[in-house]
Structures are given as C-alpha cells and as structure tokens.
Amino acid sequence: MRAVIQRVSEASCKVDDKTTGEITQGLLILLGIEESDGEDDLRWLTQKIVNMRIFCDDKSLMNRSLREVDGNILLVSQFTLFALTKKGNRPSFIRAAKPDQAIPLYEQTIAELESMLDKKIATGVFGADMKISLINDGPVTIMMNTKDRDNY
C-alpha cells in the first residue's frame, strides 16, 4: 500500500458536484493498493497513520498524534500512486490492484481506521472521478509505502 498523507485544516471530496466526504482538522489520505498488498500491510499502515506525531503541541512542535488532537480523516482511493513512468510518456498502472481485490482492502482500511479512532471517517468513492479540495496545514505531506517499511 502506498499513501500520501497531508495534514489539513480542511478537506473535501466531490463526485458529480455532490460532497461525499468533508473534514476539518485532520488528515487527507490518498491510498493506493497494489496486487501484493494484504491485511499485514493494512494493519501496519493504519497503526502508523493514527499514531504518527505530526500535529503541533502548545510549543508548536510536532508532538501530537491524530488521536491526541481528535482529528479527522478523509480517505480517498488513488490507484495512480502505482504509476510506472519508466517507459514512454504514458504511465502504466499494471501494479495497482484490480477492483475485486482493492475494494475489500479499501473497505477494511476504512473499518480499521474507524475502529482505532472510535468515530466515522470521511471517504471518497472508489473508482469515481473525484474532485478533492484541501487546505494543507504546514504544509505537512508525508509519503508511506508498506513495502519499504525500513525507510518509513
């Protein structure tokens, strides 16, 4: 799994001009799922997300986690995080998991994050043409890859 995590003061997702999810302070997470991903990847990534200390304390130091600030999540599926750009100018997405595998893992990720935070999270619509708006707070943007855990 690959994730682009952005600390935001607000974020929203629209599909066909209808808002599917919106949050105030928290994290916008763009999530890509690869064919080789499984529940171990999901558990590692969700633990990292909710416990990562990237919110400021009273001294303006990044010492607080999403849990500690009672922050929100907007989770958006993003297969293009697995774009291969080595050859030519048109990206290939062959490493991205097909919907029959990716949708259950995406839904499990939602359930796991909701369980860990003890509240609902906002989402996009898997596979839809989405319009994402955000105000990045900091800016703070972090990339994670469950297949490269030693570097994250």
Q: Please list the active-site residues.
A: 80
Rounded to whole angstroms, how far apart are CA atoms 75 and 12? Answer: 10
- Burial category of 132 from C-beta neighbours within 10 Å (exposed 0-12, middle 13-18, buried 19 and up): middle
Rounded to whole angstroms, how far apart are CA atoms 9 and 80? Answer: 25
Neighbours of 41 (CB within 10 A): 20
- Is residue 50 a contact partner of residue 67, using CB atoms and an 8 Å limit? yes
- Is residue 51 a contact partner of residue 65, using CB atoms and an 8 Å limit? yes
Report residue 132 CA to chain centroid gap.
Answer: 13
